[in-house]
Structure formats: C-alpha cells, structure tokens
Amino acid sequence: MRAGSAEARRDATAVRGVPPRAPRDDTAVVPVAPAARVAPAAAPLEHAARGEHTHSETPIPRPRLTREGVRDTGTQVPGPRSAIAAGSAFAPAVPRPVIQRASVRGQILDALRSALVSGDLAPGEVYSAPALGDRFGVSATPVREAMQQLANEGAVEVVPNRGFRVIRRGARELAELAEIRGLVEMPVMLRLTRTVGAPCWAELRPLADATVTAAATGDHARYAESDRVFHAAVLALSGNRQLVQLADDLHRRAQWPLAGAPARRTRADLLADAAQHTAILDALTAQDVPAAQSLVREHFAGA
C-alpha cells in the first residue's frame, strides 16, 4: 500500500510538469568559481610618465583639496584610480608633473630658435646637448628633445655621438624660400584686401608698430618674433589655420642666418623691413590692390 502511494505521488508530480527529484549523489563535484584577480595598485603619480634622466629628481609635492575646501600641501595626492574609487569630486583637478616637463622643453626650444636667429648658434658648428644644457641650466634631456624638433624643421642635423650641427644655408635657398612665401601668402593678402574692412585692419596696427619698436632696439630675436606675429595675424583673417601654420614655418626658415655672411642684419635693415609692414597695412586698409601687391612682392624679395 505504501509502495502504491509513492508511485501515485510520482505520477501526480509528473502530471503537474514538475520533474522528479534526482537521487542524491554524494560523489558529485561542485564547481568552484575561480578567485577574483586583484588589480594591482595604481602607481603613485610621481613615478608615472618618467622621462629620460629623471630617476634622481625629487617629487614635487602637490596640494590636495579636501571636501571642506582647505588646501593640504603635506599630504600626497592619491592617484587618479584611487581618487575615483573613493568618490573624490576633486580628482580631475590634480595637476600632472608632465606639464612642467613640457614647459621646460618649450622654453628651451624658444631659446634655441632665438640663438639661431641672432647667430649665437653659428652655421656649420656642432653643439652637444649636455653642453647646451649647462648653458641653460637644465639637463640634457629637454635640450635633446628641442634639438630633435629643430632637426625636423631643417635647422640642424644630427651628428652621431657628437650632437647637432647647424645647417649651412646659402643665398639660393633664401631666394627659394622668399619665392615660396610669395606664392603662398600674396594671393591670400590680395583676396583679403577686397574682403576685409578697415576696422579689422586697424586692430593689427599695434602689431605693425611693435615690429618698428623691435627694429629700433636692434634685437634680432625680438624683431624676428614680432615679424612672424604680424604676418600670422594678417593671414589668420583668412580663417585657414593650416595656411597660417605652413606660412609661419616658411617664415621661420627664412630668418636663419646665411653661412659665410654676416650673422646679423644692420639696424637700418630691420627698420626698413618694419616700415614695409606699416606701408602694407596702409594699402590693405585702403583696399588698394595694386599697391598692396607691389609692396608685398618687394617685402618678400628683401626677406
């Protein structure tokens, strides 16, 4: 009777659609989930993005903003991952040391460009990164990086195991650069003469005056910078940023001194060049296309 009752119960369960319970097997192996891998802790920021010859530098303490808005300069700021994990609202504002490193390289690059224009870096001479680093009071690394940029621009060439040699340029190369600059900039200036009104040109008057002031001082590096700024501002009115960048690169190359020639132009030469900026701006303001064309052509020929 009991056996019949058990069979009846199993039949009833099958009718209801419930699968019968499988017999227990104590030998069955229960799979175990693998242990979760622990992510490595984020490295401190002062050890991240290290550049060449920086292993001995002392980490720069960075201020941290607390939730009460108080600066704490004595506590190390946690890395980005740990800050985010802790729910810090100030994590994105943490400064990175790499910004300071890039700033040093940029300053060295500007100084080397000025030395090229002034003739302090003579054509044909070889300069080593460590020697220039001692001259500027920095390590050789930012100097080497800046020199590599100048090599990309065609100002210097790499001399293995020695340093960088300043490229020798002749009068023919200078004439070729002047011709290319005329082909690039002159059509744009003439088009702007017809389309840009006097108020826009008036805003560039201080830049033209700045070239005259720089020329009067006889500072070649200062004049070279003000000269490029003026031309870039004129071309910027076209709205073509690629054009401005290309023209600035050609202009910079045209400012390097020639081999075998005096390293510097006279102050009278600089003043005459600056006076042409003022005359060109006057023609552009008056929308005098023939005068602008003649002045721009003469300006590039004497560059």
Q: Which residues neighbour 151 within 8 Å (Cβ) at sequence distance 6 or greater?
A: 157, 158, 164
- Count H helices, E strands: the chain? 12, 5
- Give the pLDDT of residue 264: 59
Residues 219-258: pLDDT tens digits?
A: 888 999 999 999 999 999 999 999 999 999 999 988 887 7
Select from 108, 247, 253, 251 the least CA-distant residue to 166.
253
CA-angle at 51, arms to 45 and 52, nearest 5°: 145
Question: Where does the pLDDT of residue 277 fall: very low under 50, low under 70, confident under 90, or very high at 90 and above?
Answer: very high
Percent of the chain having pLDDT more than 70?
64
Mean pLDDT, all residues of the chain = 75
Residues 175-230: pLDDT tens digits?
A: 899 899 999 999 999 999 999 999 999 999 999 999 999 999 988 889 999 999 99
Select from 245, 300, 263 the least CA-distant residue to 166.
263
Residues 56-82: pLDDT tens digits?
A: 444 434 444 444 444 444 444 344 444
0.85 exceeded by the pTM? no
